Structure 1
Amino acid sequence: MIYTKPHYQIALTQLHGFGSIKTKQLLQSVENEAAIFNLPLKNLAQQTGFSLNVLKKMKREEAIQESGKLLDLLEQHKIEFIFYTDPRYPRRLKQCEDAPLMLYTKGNIDLNNTRFVAIVGTRDASEYGKRICSELIQQFAGTNIVVVSGMAYGIDITIHQLCLQYGVETIGVMAHGLEIIYPQLHRSTAMKMLEKGGLISEYPPTTKPDRENFPMRNRIVAGMCDATIVVESKVKGGSLITAELANDYNRDVFAYPGNIFDENSEGCNVLISTNKAHLIRSGADFLKKMGWDLEVKHPVQRSVFPSLTQEELHIVRLLETQGQMNIDTMAMQLNVPSSALSVLLFQLEMNGLIASVPGNRCRLV
């Protein structure tokens, strides 16, 4: 069989005992990828500085044979791949020592767009966290910001869905192969994301969502972005790992403060109090701190009214007559408990009918 450059590139990701860092060291010492598979092991040891015993264990014959099967699988499922040396590889991520050798991609993706922002948070998102997400993404509408998150429950999927709603390009970084969508509940959102953004993974197409893959995934989320925003987070978990990684990569980190007695805000409050994140209160705060406070080119338009419940219709009519309203005042006027009103407001935001504004207020879009 005649092996091509793509064969050798994929085979490099299959070498036994060689992660991305060691493989990059191999590449720096040879003329091209093919040399790692074609040079006699003794010559390869002399050129690279790796011991003969280590090189014998990498099973390069098995790796190159496996690459052919993987290439066929990628073609079958219409999955593209971007090797570390490819100019399409995200330049921000390439600055990170532990960046993956290969990214598998689906969708309409430019991984070197002008501005990338990671937005992460708890899987147990509260209405407070969801309202933050809605205001934040509306601020990003009409800009050239690409939003990156992890397709998980809670804040992640809320962010992706809001990006779709407001026309913001969004990318999901997966902790498994791209022929698997986990959780399955998010498949429809993932398919819609392929039209304006897409999905990426460092794992071959059929890789299962094993537990150890998720922390590894977070380094890609942090590394490929200019900044990371933590919306709502417990003191332990993936969001805090992503924030720590972003700090390690010298990226800007931002967090929203929250109730000191709420465990969902504890992680954000710790990041802020330990100077590991800048405090922000709105999307406008973030854009200003990043120096991105440009005029929005395409203001969000109110979507066509969906079928509203009687309670939702009362809210819309009240805002039509009052304009911006404080949410606590609205709850009193409508004689609705604040908790129930928050659920109704979130649904109206998701339907593109209202928007949150500073001061615990909202308005019609």
Structure 2
Amino acid sequence: MKEEKLLAVLRLQRCKAIGDILAKKLIVNVGDVEQVFKEKTAILSKINGIGSHVLKHLFDAKNIKLAQQELKYIQDNNISYSYFLDDDYPKNLQHCIDSPILLFKDGKLDFSNPRIISIVGTRNISSYGRDFCNQLIKEIATYNPIIVSGFAYGVDICAHKAAIEYNLQTIAVLAHGFEQIYPKVHKKYINQVNENGGFLTEFWSEEDPLRENFLKRNRIVAGISKATIIIESASKGGSLVTADIANSYNKDVFAVPGRTTDLYSRGCNNLIKNNRAYLLSSATDIVKMLNWDVQEKAKTIQKQLFVELNENEQKIHDLLHDKGQQLLDVISLECNIPIYQLSSILLQMELKGVTKPLPGKMFELT
């Protein structure tokens, strides 16, 4: 993205009087984010939701200065980002009306895998919840899903650690900027998460983990995945907010039942009782409800016994056959194929049933 366009996105994102829904409406109506700040106010004021109060904040000189500072931080620190209209923006989230117009990324994130599930729950996880979380991820690991959570205490960090243990990509969605980490005790997991996935946030570099930021963060956790799983929750809590948001997006929600006397099973039991979540007793429930088995069988049927490969495809096949799983960069180097060509070739080979992608930009033969 050109510097001028990114600056315009940052200015719009910084405007406190404009949320993501209204920001997208503005962009769509004027045709481009840069045009938002070039358009006459008389034209902008005709857009539903754009009044004098919004226009005052939209053209506030303070926002320009702050946006320029954040742009410098992004450039100086080589921060990756995704604009909501870009191809690399998470597809599931792109379909949510209130998704962030800009996401900041860190790590080895790969959203090409359609099997994405969010796992959330109480910070006060019990041994029952911990054991269930670990066993669930162990059993679904064969389907190679991406595990999303919020990097918080309890269920969140349990899900991230289990995903790493079973070589699954994991994504931590933060409620603050990249200049800090919350909770601080989880700093020791940063490198592991980055090597097995990475971090996402909509918040600027120095933004603090304020309470309202956690509530905003929850919509990303719910929207980025195909389904949200609540492991344990009291009768009130952030994970229930995430479940409500997921339901509003018409996503599947699962909850783990517990004893009626257990404080941190009440929220899950109520979700199930009120038909706001499917009862989750084992990994089989996930596999069946999300049709993962059907998808696997379809791939098996589509796979040809004798597949014709062109020269480049044969090079890749031979490398993976001889050396097993390989990084995208290694395949490019070993086969002397540029990355921009290699991605397309690997996709064709996947469609032929010859290769399959793994977390961390790894590939192997089927």
Q: TM-score range by the shorter chain?
A: 0.7 to 0.9
Contact 1:41–1:56 at 8 Å: present in 2 too?
no
SS of residue in 2 equivalent to 1:205 = coil
> Partners in 2 of 1:267 and 1:48 — Cα distance?
38
How far has the Cα of 1:62 moved from its partner?
3.3
Give me the whole-angstrom Cα distance separating, in 1, the residues matched to 2:80 and 2:113: 18
C-alpha distance in 2, partners of 1:46/1:128? 56
Going by fraction, where is helix more abundant, 1 or 2?
Answer: 2
Q: Distance in 2 between matches of 1:49 and 1:269?
A: 40
CA distance in structure 1 between the partners assigned to 2:261 and 2:43 by the alignment: 63
Q: In the alignment, which residue of structure 2 is the partner of 1:124?
A: 124
Deviations 1:235-257 (A, max 9, x none): 11011111111111100011111
Counterpart secondary structure, 1:57: helix
Aligned to 2:325: none
- Quick check: 2:22–2:49 contact (8 Å CA) kept in 1? no
Question: Does residue 15 of the first structure (1) align with residue 36 of the second (2)?
Answer: no
How far residue 146 of structure 1 moved from its aligned partner, in angstroms, is: 0.4
Residues 115-148 of structure 1 show CA distances to partners (whole Å, capped at 9, x for unaligned) of 1100011111111001101111111223231010
Deviates more, 1:221-230 or 1:40-49: 40-49
Flag the 1:47–1:158 CA change in 2: closer, same or farther, 3 A: closer
Question: CA 1:80–1:270 in 2, change beyond 3 Å: closer, same or farther?
Answer: same
The Cα shift of 1:112 comes to: 4.6
What amino acid sits opposite 2:237 in the alignment? G
Contact preservation (8 Å) 2:117, 2:147: yes
1:140/1:168 contact within 8 Å kept:
no
Task: Quickly say closer, same or farther: Cα 1:235–1:66, change in 2 above 3 A.
Answer: same
Is contact 1:142-1:168 (8 Å) kept? no
Tell me what 1:232 maps to.
232
Does the 8 Å CA contact 1:88/1:112 hold for their aligned counterparts? no
| Correspondence 1:34 to 2:29 | no
Question: What whole-Å deviation, never above 9, does each CA across 1:76-101 have from its counterpart, x for those lacking one?
Answer: 33321111111111121122221111
Q: After superposition, give the CA deviation of every residue in 1:195-231 in whole Å (9 maximum; x if it has no partner).
A: 1211101100111111111111111100111001111
Quick one: which amino acid aligns to residue 236 of structure 2?
K
Structure 2 residue 90 is the aligned partner of structure 1 residue 90:
yes
Query: Structure 1: any 5+ residue segments left out of the alignment?
Result: 297-365
**SS of match in other structure, 2:106:** strand
How many residues end up aligned between the 2 structures? 295
Equivalent AA in structure 2 for residue 152 of structure 1: A
Residue matched to 2:57: 57
Local SS of the residue matching 1:38: coil
1:111 and 2:111 matched: yes
**Taking every aligned residue pair, what percent have the same amino acid on both sides?**
39
1:266 and 1:252 mapped to 2: Cα distance?
Answer: 20
Match of 1:353 in 2: none
**TM-score computed with the length of structure 1 as normaliser:** 0.76
1:143 is aligned to 2:143: yes
CA gap 1:203/1:190 in 2 versus in 1, 3 angstroms? same
- Residue 76 of structure 2 aligns with an amino acid whose one-letter code is Q
Larger Rg: 1
CA–CA distance in structure 2, aligned partners of residues 50 and 246 of structure 1: 28
In 2, Cα distance between equivalents of 1:289 and 1:102: 31
Structure 1 residue 28: deviation in Å? 1.3
- Say which SS state the counterpart of residue 178 (structure 1) adopts: coil
**Aligned-residue offset at 1:49:** 7.4
Q: 1:73 to 1:288 in 2, by over 3 A?
A: same
Return the letter of the residue paired with 2:194: L
Contact 1:271 1:277 in 2 (8 A): yes
Given the superposition, is the C-alpha separation of residues 26 and 295 from structure 1 closer, same or farther in structure 2, using an over 3 Å criterion? Answer: closer
Structure 1 distance, partners of 2:226, 2:291, is 12
1:99 equivalent in structure 2: 99
- The letter for the 2-side match of 1:192 is Q
Q: 1:74 Cα deviation (Å)?
A: 1.6
In 2, Cα distance between the equivalents of 1:67 and 1:240? 34
Change (3 A) 1:12 1:283: same
Look up the SS of the partner of 2:11 in the other structure: helix
User: How far apart are residue 53 of structure 1 and its match?
Assistant: 5.2
Secondary structure, counterpart of 2:214 in structure 1: helix
Secondary structure, aligned partner of 1:99: coil
Equivalent in the alignment of 1:71: 71
